[in-house]
Amino acid sequence: MSLTLRTISREQHLAYIQSLPSASHCQVPAWADVKNEWRSESLGWFDKSGELVGAGLVLYRQLPKIKRYLAYLPEGPVINWHAPNLEDWLHPMLAHLKQQGAFSVKMGPPVVIRRWSAPSIKKGIQDPDVKRLRDVEADVIEPRAFEVSDRLRKMGWQQGEDGGAGFGDVQPRYVFQVPLANRSLDDVQKSFNQLWRRNIKKADKAGVEVVQGGYDDLPVWQELYEVTAERDRFRPRPLSYFQRQWKALNSEDPNRMRLYIAKHEGEPLAAATMLTVGNHVWYSYGASVNHKREVRPSNAMQWRMLRDSYALGASVYDLRGISDTLDETDHLFGLIQFKVGTGGEAVEYIGEWDFPLNKLLHKALEIYMSKR
């Protein structure tokens, strides 16, 4: 199959994404407006008959002082990763990006390699010899993913170092998902652990109310988010980032981004943003206050978001990044513990990959990044 690659319009790009069951929210054209400090471009792959068969959102970040760029395709490109001729897809992309002044390319193939069920993870947590997710035998292993990794290595791509944590500006390698396809809501709730079911009941009894907010409620979100940032010791994004995200994503599709707020006696206690592309729904950012934890606003909010995702016809509710630690003394352990309670599964992607088009500049960037 001979493929040609060229820049496409946002309209073509969006129409292609809409023709698929789903794609990452980082690969929709509007994501370029969210990440407006990067230059952006939509790429399209065309087959012999001229049909668009793949697309990618590229973000270009300029190096200080010189006209050279890091080209980044977050959780993309959206192509046939299992095609026997993967080189025919990626070589034209590299040639094009080099022409655009890229010295290095980073991409995140949306290819799953392993899955672990909640019971398997629980067993791993109880085993004192197990410290990491990969010490636990996976319930599902995708052999084709290993082939993709092998092909990429042969082409000269290098697997990015993510340290297993999957946080920061890079896309998470490990995520936690609740499968919804071919299941009843009753079945989904039955697979919650006892603590989750108890906490949902507690919230209900206490009168916690979960409402959908709008653009004007984003300052309420920001207040809760800044409390969370201080508690969990991370640097919060400014309110303007979420306002920009809301405007950009919802002008592309009115259902792309939602805001949920859990209130008790009229007081907002927890909030979360939710993103939807096709049949994939992501819990994106979450926040909560430090008091009134006993009324369990976060559990109530997640249950409402799960039910709404189900009503939207989602096949998966994605709780996004987790670390791969199963060590109870690790500060990131609480996150996986909270998510495992939903009875879903941990999912490992093949991670991010780099292609140094200019080895010297690529090395310089690596050194610069490691000092930050």
Convert the pLDDT of each residue in 296-335 to its tens digit. 999 999 999 999 999 999 999 999 999 899 998 988 898 8
What the block records as the tokens of 43 is: 């790429």
Instruction: Tell me the mean pLDDT in the region 241-253.
Output: 97
Q: What percent of the chain has pLDDT over 90?
A: 85
pLDDT band at 232 (very low <50, low <70, confident <90, very high): confident
pLDDT band at 67 (very low <50, low <70, confident <90, very high): confident
Return the bridge partners of 235, or none. none
pLDDT of residue 1: 64
CB atoms closer than 10 angstroms to residue 20 = 12
Phi, psi dihedral angles at 72 (to 5 degrees):
-125, 130
Element (H, E) at 159: strand 158-159
- Judging by DSSP bridges, how do beta strands 174-179 and 209-213 pair with one another? unpaired
CA atoms within 13 A on the CB side of 74: 20
Structure-token match 């001979």, residue found: 2
pLDDT of residue 163: 41
pLDDT at 162 over 70: no
pLDDT band at 370 (very low <50, low <70, confident <90, very high): low
d(CA 343, CA 21): 24
> What does the pLDDT look like over 249-296, one tens digit per residue?
999 999 999 999 999 999 999 999 999 999 999 999 999 999 998 999
> What does the pLDDT look like over 27-62, one tens digit per residue?
999 999 999 999 999 999 999 999 999 999 999 998
pLDDT at 184 over 60: yes
pLDDT at 365 over 80: no
pLDDT at 167 over 70: no
Model pTM score? 0.92
pLDDT band at 72 (very low <50, low <70, confident <90, very high): very high
Alpha helices in the chain (DSSP H): 10-18, 31-34, 86-99, 118-126, 143-155, 185-190, 194-206, 218-232, 239-252, 297-311, 333-340, 359-371
Mean pLDDT of the chain: 93
d(CA 237, CA 229): 9
pLDDT of residue 95: 97
Instruction: Tell me the mean pLDDT in the region 186-190.
Output: 96
pLDDT band at 64 (very low <50, low <70, confident <90, very high): confident
Instruction: Tell me the mean pLDDT in the region 336-352.
Output: 95
pLDDT of residue 372: 53
pLDDT at 169 over 60: no
